[in-house]
């Protein structure tokens, strides 16, 4: 059973846990960390979201509630919930495919279309965003969560489902329509040294896979 949810809001973490003992995060030096206990009222969460959206200095919130699934449901109710899928794509040289869009290094992903499976969506999005012709899924990796504002101004919560993938192809064609400026094959050392800035959710999943330190 899941012990926590970690959501990035304005690139800052909000962590939902059932017990204080479940907090095993290592926060960045200088980050202000606020810990609070949920009282079962959804309106208690809105000021936390507002604070992180407007934060200009490193800040994190930890919210504790014994019924974690209820807390997660209450949090989700404040957003339009969107599911996406994407991939950590390796070539035969064990280089990883990185993309650069909207000022950040990222991994290829996109929304799951109605009636589409997660795996089919992940492969489709990787192909569309990078120009790869042949992509195969090896295994499920993990999920990440982040929020953003829709054009309407409403808040959206995106769940990104990640898969490890392989391809025999090397030629990359960035999808300009999705604001992708660059698509490059990189070894871990190159990613460590050159891929900055990077979305924190992407950095976290690369760390979990041993690609970044």
Rounded-to-integer distance, Cα 132 and Cα 184, Å: 12
DSSP designation for 77: T
pLDDT at position 3 is 85
Helix (H, G, I), strand (E, B) or coil at 138: strand
User: Over 70: is that where the pLDDT of 106 sits?
Assistant: yes
In this prediction, residues 147-176 reach a mean pLDDT of 97
Q: Residue 114 — very low, low, confident or very high, per pLDDT cuts 50/70/90?
A: very high
Cα dihedral sign for 164, 144, 202, 150?
A: positive
User: Over 80: is that where the pLDDT of 4 sits?
Assistant: yes
In this prediction, residues 171-175 reach a mean pLDDT of 97
Helix (H, G, I), strand (E, B) or coil at 42: helix
Q: Residue 14 — very low, low, confident or very high, per pLDDT cuts 50/70/90?
A: very high
| pLDDT tens profile 177-197 | 999 999 999 999 999 999 999
pLDDT at position 24 is 85
CB count, 10 Å around CB of 151?
A: 5
Q: Work out the burial of residue 97: count CB atoms within 10 Å of its CB; fewer than 13 is exposed, 13-18 middle, 19 or more buried.
A: buried
Q: Residue 1 — very low, low, confident or very high, per pLDDT cuts 50/70/90?
A: low
The answer to whether 83 and 91 have CB atoms below 8 angstroms apart is no
User: Over 90: is that where the pLDDT of 10 sits?
Assistant: yes
Q: What is the pTM of this model?
A: 0.94
The answer to whether 89 and 97 have CB atoms below 8 angstroms apart is yes
Rounded-to-integer distance, Cα 6 and Cα 17, Å: 9
The percentage of residues in the chain with a pLDDT greater than 70, rounded to a whole number, is 100
User: Over 90: is that where the pLDDT of 163 sits?
Assistant: yes
Give Cα separations from 43 to 38, 70, 74 (angstroms).
Answer: 10, 14, 9
pLDDT at position 66 is 96
pLDDT at position 25 is 86
pLDDT at position 140 is 97
pLDDT at position 166 is 98
Radius of gyration for the chain, computed over Cα atoms and rounded to the nearest angstrom: 18
| pLDDT tens profile 18-67 | 999 988 888 888 999 999 999 999 999 999 999 999 999 999 999 999 99
pLDDT at position 28 is 86
Q: Which residue from 183, 187, 191 is spatially nearest to 131, judged by alpha carbons?
A: 183
pLDDT at position 127 is 98
Altogether, the residues listed in the chain come to a count of 213
Buried b (16+ CB within 10 A) or exposed e, 177-200: eeebeebbbbebeebeeebeebbb
Q: Where are the alpha helices (DSSP H) in 36-100?
A: 46-54, 68-76
Domains within the chain, CATH numbers bracketed: 4-76 (no CATH), 84-208 (3.90.79.10)
- Residue 109's contacts (CB-CB under 8 Å, 6 or more residues apart) are 84, 85, 86, 87, 122, 125, 126, 129, 160, 162
């Amino acid at each position: 059973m899941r012990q926590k949810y970690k959501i990035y809001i304005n690139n800052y973490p909000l962590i939902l846990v059932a017990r204080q003992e479940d907090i095993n995060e290592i926060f960045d030096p200088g980050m202000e960390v606020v810990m609070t206990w949920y009282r079962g009222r959804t309106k208690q969460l809105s000021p936390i979201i507002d604070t992180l959206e407007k934060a200009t200095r490193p800040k994190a919130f930890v919210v504790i509630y014994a019924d974690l699934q209820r807390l997660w449901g209450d949090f989700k109710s404040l957003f339009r919930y969107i599911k996406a899928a994407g991939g950590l794509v390796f070539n035969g040289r064990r280089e990883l495919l990185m993309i650069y869009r909207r000022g950040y290094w990222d991994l290829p992903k996109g929304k799951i279309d109605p009636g589409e499976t997660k795996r089919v969506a992940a492969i489709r999005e990787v192909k569309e965003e990078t120009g790869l012709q042949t992509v195969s899924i090896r295994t499920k990796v993990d999920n990440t969560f982040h929020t953003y504002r829709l054009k309407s101004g409403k808040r959206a919560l995106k769940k990104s489902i990640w898969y490890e993938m392989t391809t025999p192809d090397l030629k990359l064609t960035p999808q300009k329509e999705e604001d992708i400026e660059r698509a490059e094959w990189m070894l871990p050392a190159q990613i460590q040294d050159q891929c900055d800035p990077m979305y924190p959710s992407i950095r976290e999943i690369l760390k979990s896979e041993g690609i970044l330190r």
